Amino acid sequence: MLLTILPIWLEALLNKIMKTTLFTFVALLLLSKTLFAQHAHFTTSGTIEFEKRVNTYALMKKEITPDNEAFMKPIYEEYIKNNPQFKVLKSTLSFTANQTLFVPEEVDLVQGDSWGLGPLESQNNTIYTNLNTNLITSQKKVFDETFLVKDTARSIKWKITDETREIAGYTCRRANAVIMDSIYVVAFYTPEIPVSGGPESFNGLPGMILGIALPHENLAWFATKITETTVPLNPVVPPKKGKPTTNNELSATLHKIGKDWGKWFDRYLKAFQL
């Protein structure tokens, strides 16, 4: 009797196990597809709000030398008593799958902030990038004159690392580079926005750059808010006003202006050519 019943019982048990296993497999398959679909969602159009943070204490301290210490040190000490360490400037980057437009916000001068108004501590560039043609149109304010620079995008040799961090809700990967022969750059980009753009004229990574730091220049740009839209809130079109020129022509103009300034002009030169 036992030999007759056992196969029936065993068959029922095996059928139950197979049904349970099949249900679990199907559930896991559906869950994995859902997770993949969520992970595979990419943003290709929208706006990014950036903050540029400038360490004014560090920049000012660099200007103190043995020759001017008696004059500059009291000014520095008075400045840090009455002003915050970081100057914060805001900007917006509008983007589509093949275009970006970086626009700085206008800043009202704070009464009493008599130092830190140089180009590195300001935002002087409105920059349009056509990612299909690799061409950039930059509107640059240089002292009292405005230039319209049309040229190819800067070629940056990035070295991508394994370091990651989260910026504005997006997982970003770190990349390092050196531009203009001496400026060390740390960038954080996200593949979740597969647009090879970034703030100012920084680009060339396999995803949107949401963070840029120039450690030795005491500057950084980081995204604070990202808005995904079918059509960006700000139109992505190049600026049109300014004296037409190229990067090489602008560089020659800048060197001519600052030929008698000595090392003090280096900071201006870097800022205008970023």
Domain ranges (residues) in the chain: 46-273
Q: What is the pLDDT of residues 4-47, one digit of tens each?
A: 444 554 455 445 545 555 444 444 444 444 443 444 567 889 99
pLDDT, mean of residues 167-181: 96
Whole-angstrom distance, CA of residue 179 vs CA of residue 156: 7
Tell me which of 1.10.3470, 2.50.20, 3.40.630, 3.30.1360 is the CATH number of domain 46-273.
2.50.20
Strands of 121-245, DSSP E = 125-130, 135-142, 145-152, 159-167, 170-179, 183-190, 208-214, 219-228, 243-245
CB 201 within 8 A of CB 217: no
CA 46, chain centre distance (Å) = 15
Token pair belonging to 219: 């500057």
If one compares 186 and 10, the residue with the highest pLDDT of the two is: 186
Distances (CA, A) of 135 to 13, 46, 247: 69, 20, 12
Which amino acid belongs to residue 232?
P
CB 229 within 8 A of CB 46: yes
160-170 pLDDT, tens digit per residue, is 999 999 999 99
Q: What is the mean pLDDT of residues 230-240?
A: 81
Q: What is the pLDDT of residue 136?
A: 96
Q: Which amino acid is at 147?
A: F
Could you tell me if 148 and 138 are in contact, meaning their C-beta atoms sit under 8 angstroms apart?
yes
| Number of residues assigned to the chain | 274
pLDDT at 100 over 60: yes
pTM: 0.81
Other CB atoms within a 10 A radius of the CB of residue 66 amount to 6
| Averaged confidence pLDDT in the chain | 83
Query: Residue 26: what pLDDT?
Result: 42
Q: What is the CA radius of gyration of the chain?
A: 27
At 113, is the pLDDT very low, low, confident or very high (cuts 50, 70, 90)?
A: low
- Looking at residue 12, its pLDDT comes to 53
The larger pLDDT score, comparing residue 271 to residue 139, is at 139
Residue 234's Cβ-side half-sphere holds a number of Cα atoms within 13 Å equal to: 22
Coil, strand or helix: which one is 192?
A: coil
Mean pLDDT of 129-141: 95
